[in-house]
């Protein structure tokens, strides 16, 4: 059959991905550097993006009652003019229910083949995805290319591989025999993984594909039809993913409404209506904690990634300059609009280095100097900083209190003179201050003065237990101190990255190796991607039959 041929075509890749889940070593079939691809693909992708501007996005081939769109390029600072098909929430549900009749009865192999083929189709559009992401999120070209293309595809493939592994965990059928003395009980047993129902995947504005495709592909491999509800200001990138998925599904003779894109506007949102609908059984959510808490209150199976406060704990270092450069890049990268970026740097009164002891002020000066080095770098500055996705982020930063160590600066972008950009604001506070104990999304860094490492860890762990965290970065040359930090921070379910320098940054999480989030603290209840990320999307049902 045509459907099975896709599975056979991609079986080698799937087998390699499943093996990678267990090895936890580097694995990616999608090269992350643009130079690994044909030189003409960049120009072609940019041209393809240009053709989409100020047009209706017709590639989805979805039911349409009206066209909507209000995306604004943070680099151009004006609207990109693309409109997307929209229908009522009840129509999305109706379409999804109808499509589920065939999708849930397809074989695991059929679904896997379709999903892997869609990733191959998306691969041909990585450059187009990069420009789409740049002009809806404000990311630099390199980050947009990697995050929305190869890295998102890695996470989608990871979800498919996990799904296939778990859906095959138990035998489909066995002849059960129980000895009963002179005779035996003979029963035919059949186990079936039953999908839970319609899934809703709610996207965020800053990483429209990377945060969306894990839940999307996990739903689909488990047999659940899915409605994608992107952020109104960041639709285009995930619309490209959805278009390729729908195209492959349709080519295989199935109802393409297995996947639907449900766009809305800030003024007329539909997210709550979809999430509360009784037919929606699964909800994936990425975004702020206020709405995330509402999602978690629903009597449904939900997977959330919300906000949190990530910490850096400095105890002792080999070379403070190298450490400061690492922290500076992590803070400057995409103007700290990443869920993995640090907000608070805990610095004791004295920090031991290989050349002597530094005071809090000296450590702070190193960090400020390193941030300035990134911001004012003629080539790296604007490409690292990127642009601010939402001007509300800039308004929020103005509320920050503390002793100002580094004022915000507009970062000039040669290619985009109107880019909405700003360098990080750096303030120092005492550990007793309340200023740093709330999340400030965007370009802000708190340097927190503590008595010692014990106090640093104590405060960081409390903040994690109350507000959540996805990452923790720590620097110590003492193995016993490292052990202490790891134990305390792991107790509140946050992983620790020790002594990251050079090309290693706390922001980075590798698919097939690193778990993104633990699901154990208020930053979210899910992890990309442990087995529970797929297992909770279906239910094992065992039927028995006596002949």
Fold classification of 311-498 is Aldehyde Dehydrogenase; Chain A, domain 2 (3.40.309)
Percent of the chain past pLDDT 70, that is, above it, reads 99
pLDDT digits (tens, 9 = 90+) for 133-187: 999 999 999 999 999 999 999 999 999 999 999 999 999 999 999 999 999 999 9
Rounded to 5 degrees, what angle do the CA atoms 318, 332, 426 make?
80
The pLDDT assigned to 2 comes to 56
pLDDT digits (tens, 9 = 90+) for 204-248: 999 999 999 999 999 999 999 999 999 999 999 999 999 999 999
Within the chain, all domains assigned CATH 3.40.309.10 are found at 311-498
The pLDDT assigned to 474 comes to 98
- Which strand (E) or helix (H) includes residue 498? strand 497-498
Give start and end residues of each alpha helix (H) in 333-416.
360-375, 380-385, 391-397
pLDDT at 51 over 80: yes
pLDDT digits (tens, 9 = 90+) for 273-324: 999 999 999 999 999 999 999 999 999 999 999 999 999 999 999 999 999 9
Beta carbons of 193 and 535 less than 8 angstroms apart: no
In angstroms, rounded to a whole number, what is the distance separating the alpha carbons of residues 384 and 529?
27
In angstroms, rounded to a whole number, what is the distance separating the alpha carbons of residues 320 and 303?
39
pLDDT at 345 over 80: yes
Number of H helices, E strands in the chain: 18, 21
> What confidence category does residue 416 fall into, taking pLDDT thresholds of 50, 70 and 90?
very high
Beta carbons of 346 and 456 less than 8 angstroms apart: yes
pLDDT at 1 over 80: no
Q: Write the DSSP assignment of 260-277 as a string of letters.
A: EE----SSS--HHHHHH-
Reference 331, options 276, 385, 271, 250; nearest CA is 385
Beta carbons of 491 and 498 less than 8 angstroms apart: no
Mean pLDDT of 46-62: 98
Q: Helices 141-148 & 126-137, crossing angle to 10 degrees?
A: 120
Q: Write the DSSP assignment of 91-146 as a string of letters.
A: HHHHHHHHHHHHHTTS-HHHHHHHHHHHHHHHHTTHHHHHHHHHHHH---HHHHHH
Reference 388, options 405, 404, 410; nearest CA is 410
In angstroms, rounded to a whole number, what is the distance separating the alpha carbons of residues 98 and 108?
20
Pairing of strands 78-79, 72-73: antiparallel
Mean pLDDT of 319-339: 96
Mean pLDDT of 507-519: 95
Reference 144, options 260, 13, 216, 45; nearest CA is 45
Rg for the chain, CA atoms, rounded? 25
Beta carbons of 216 and 228 less than 8 angstroms apart: yes
In angstroms, rounded to a whole number, what is the distance separating the alpha carbons of residues 245 and 117?
9
In angstroms, rounded to a whole number, what is the distance separating the alpha carbons of residues 243 and 58?
9
> Across all residues in the chain, what is the average pLDDT?
96
Residue 483: CB atoms within 10 Å:
11
The pLDDT assigned to 379 comes to 84
Mean pLDDT of 191-196: 97
Beta carbons of 78 and 53 less than 8 angstroms apart: no
Within the chain, all domains assigned CATH 3.40.605.10 are found at 2-171+195-306
Beta carbons of 450 and 348 less than 8 angstroms apart: yes
Burial of 164 (0-12, 13-18, 19+ CB in 10 A): buried
Q: Which region, left, alpha or beta, applies to residue 355 given φ > 0 means left and ψ of -120 to 50 means alpha?
A: alpha
Q: Write the DSSP assignment of 515-536 as a string of letters.
A: -B--SSBTTBS--BT-THHHHT
The CATH architecture one would assign to domain 2-171+195-306 is: 3-Layer(aba) Sandwich (3.40)
Burial 432-454 (b: 16+ CB within 10 A, else e): ebeebbebbbbbbbbbbbbeebe
Query: Could you give the 3-state DSSP secondary structure of residue 54?
Result: coil
Beta carbons of 347 and 359 less than 8 angstroms apart: no
Distance (Å) of CA 108 to CA 67, 454, 528:
35, 51, 21
> What confidence category does residue 3 fall into, taking pLDDT thresholds of 50, 70 and 90?
low
Cis ω before 529 (30° cut-off from 0): yes
Query: Could you give the 3-state DSSP secondary structure of residue 475?
Result: strand
pLDDT digits (tens, 9 = 90+) for 61-91: 999 999 999 999 999 999 999 999 999 999 9
The pLDDT assigned to 414 comes to 84
DSSP letter, residue 512: T
Burial of 247 (0-12, 13-18, 19+ CB in 10 A): middle
CA–chain centroid gap for 392, Å, is 21
pLDDT digits (tens, 9 = 90+) for 430-444: 999 999 999 999 999
């Amino acid at each position: 059959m045509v459907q099975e041929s896709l599975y056979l075509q991609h079986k080698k890749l799937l087998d390699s991905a499943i093996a990678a889940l267990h090895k936890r070593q580097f694995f990616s079939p999608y090269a992350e550097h643009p130079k690994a691809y044909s030189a003409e693909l960049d120009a072609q992708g940019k041209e393809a993006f240009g053709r989409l501007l100020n047009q209706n996005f017709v590639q989805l081939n979805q039911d349409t009652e009206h066209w909507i769109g209000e995306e604004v390029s943070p680099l151009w600072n004006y609207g990109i003019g693309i409109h997307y098909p929209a229908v009522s929430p009840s129509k999305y549900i109706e379409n999804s229910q109808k499509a589920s009749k065939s999708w849930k009865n397809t074989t695991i192999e059929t679904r896997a083949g379709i999903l892997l083929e869609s990733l191959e189709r998306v691969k041909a559009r990585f450059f187009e995805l990069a420009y789409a992401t740049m002009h809806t999120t404000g990311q630099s070209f390199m980050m947009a290319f990697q995050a929305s293309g190869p890295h998102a595809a890695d996470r989608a493939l990871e979800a498919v591989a996990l799904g296939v592994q778990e859906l095959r965990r138990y035998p489909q059928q066995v002849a059960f025999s129980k000895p009963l003395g002179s005779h035996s009980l003979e029963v035919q047993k059949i186990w079936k993984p039953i999908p839970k129902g319609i899934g809703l995947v709610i996207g965020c504005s800053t990483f429209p594909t990377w945060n969306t495709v894990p839940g999307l592909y996990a739903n689909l491999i488990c047999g659940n039809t899915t409605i994608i509800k992107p952020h109104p200001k960041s639709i285009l990138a995930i619309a490209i993913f959805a278009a390729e998925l729908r195209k492959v599904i349709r080519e295989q003779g199935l109802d393409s409404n297995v996947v639907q894109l449900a766009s809305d506007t800030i003024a007329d949102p539909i997210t709550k209506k979809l999430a509360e609908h009784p037919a929606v059984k699964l909800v994936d959510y990425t975004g702020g904690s206020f709405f995330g808490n509402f999602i978690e209150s629903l009597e449904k199976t939900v997977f959330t990634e919300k906000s949190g406060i990530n910490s850096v704990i400095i105890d002792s270092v080999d070379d403070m300059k190298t450490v400061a450069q690492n922290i500076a890049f992590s803070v400057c990268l995409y103007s700290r609009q990443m869920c993995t970026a640090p907000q608070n740097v805990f610095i004791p009164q004295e920090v031991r280095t290989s050349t002597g002891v530094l005071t809090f002020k000296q450590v702070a000066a190193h960090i400020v100097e390193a941030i300035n080095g990134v911001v004012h770098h003629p080539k790296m500055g604007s490409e690292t900083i990127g642009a601010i996705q939402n001007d509300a982020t800039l308004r929020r930063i103005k509320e920050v209190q503390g002793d100002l160590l580094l004022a915000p600066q507009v970062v000039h972008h040669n290619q985009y003179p109107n880019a909405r950009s700003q360098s990080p604001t750096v303030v120092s506070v005492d550990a007793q201050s309340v200023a740093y104990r709330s999340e400030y999304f965007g370009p802000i860094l708190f340097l927190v003065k503590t008595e010692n490492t014990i106090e640093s860890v104590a405060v960081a762990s409390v903040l994690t237990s109350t507000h959540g965290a996805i990452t923790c970065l720590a620097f110590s040359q003492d193995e016993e101190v490292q052990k202490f930090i790891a134990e305390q921070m792991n107790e509140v379910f946050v992983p620790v990255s020790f002594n990251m320098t050079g090309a290693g940054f706390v922001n980075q999480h590798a698919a097939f190796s690193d778990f993104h989030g633990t699901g154990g603290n208020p930053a979210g209840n899910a992890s990309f991607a442990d087995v529970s990320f797929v297992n909770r999307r279906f239910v094992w049902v065992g039927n028995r039959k006596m002949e």
